[in-house]
Amino acid sequence: MNKAATPRTILVTGGGIGIGRAAALAFARSGDHVVVTDVLEKEGQAVADEIKASGGSAEFARLDVRSTDEADALVARIDAERGGLDVIVANAGIAHRVPLAELSDAKWDETFDIDLKGMIRVIRPALPSMRAKKAGAIVCLSSIMGVAYGWDEHVHYSAAKAGVVGLVRGLAVELAGEGIRVNGVAPGYIRTAQLLSEKHSLGSEGAEKAAAFIPMGRLGEPDDIADVIHFLASSAARYLTGQVIAVDGGLLVGRY
């Protein structure tokens, strides 16, 4: 591990697998303390253990982002034990295929509750400490399906991820004067369990076919997104706020 001069405290939601896992490892490599959260307890604990085994600093905390009480309690504990959060990576999300004829209010609400409201639940209680320090970085995960594309049978997901763009912009403007930056990442086709699910996404065969349309000629990997998240939370992005960056191998600009 490359130890940071002043280790920060990083909260990653949905940190047990995929992009969340890669982000947790990226921050740990730079010497930060990572609070890995997920509802997947086995996977989340494994990430924290992997970081510690490599000489890094991490802990696992089970967090269901649908629970305001759980989010408030976790952030309060971090405030008490570590003086507050320096970075939030709001990554937890679901993307379930549901045709319009089957899209109930309950399914719509579940998706928004996790993919959009779940973000403000962890951000809101962390703000008093960030404001007191006049410093902080927040990175929210959107999707190319929220910033540019429509996705059939995923209307609820596309709408929630579009909402993330508005969340980023609104928070960025409100918090900029207090030293807190808010940005987003909109991944393209990334090799994760979600993408490779035939039930809810492209499946492995469909994903490989999609790669043919990507100008860079390959699917993205979780590390490709994690490195951008890490950059956005770093001092190298000190004058960047309110932006949602598409990381997609050129897919959006290359489709014509």
Task: Examine residue 256 and state whether it is found in any structural domain, yes or no.
Answer: no
Task: Examine residue 90 and state whether it is found in any structural domain, yes or no.
Answer: yes
Tokens 């309950």 -> residue: 106
Q: Exactly one of 157, 189, 239, 256 is catalytic; which is it?
A: 157
Per-residue model confidence as pLDDT tens digits over 186-235 = 999 988 666 555 555 566 666 677 788 899 999 999 999 999 999 999 99
Task: Examine residue 232 and state whether it is found in any structural domain, yes or no.
Answer: yes
- pLDDT recorded at residue 243: 98
Task: Examine residue 131 and state whether it is found in any structural domain, yes or no.
Answer: yes
Nearest to 12 by CA among 112, 43, 177, 245: 43
157 is an active site residue: yes
Task: Examine residue 251 and state whether it is found in any structural domain, yes or no.
Answer: no
Structure tokens at 156: 């609820």
Task: Examine residue 100 and state whether it is found in any structural domain, yes or no.
Answer: yes
Per-residue model confidence as pLDDT tens digits over 29-70 = 999 999 999 999 999 999 999 999 999 999 999 999 999 999
Task: Examine residue 136 and state whether it is found in any structural domain, yes or no.
Answer: yes
- Taking the model in full, what pTM does it have? 0.94
- Look at the chain and report how many structural domains it folds into: 1
Q: For residue 53, what is the domain's CATH number?
A: 3.40.50.720
Q: Give me the DSSP letters along 220-248.
A: B-HHHHHHHHHHHTSGGGTT--S-EEEES
The rounded distance, in Å, linking the Cα atoms of 235 and 132 is 19
Q: Which domain holds residue 126?
A: 9-246
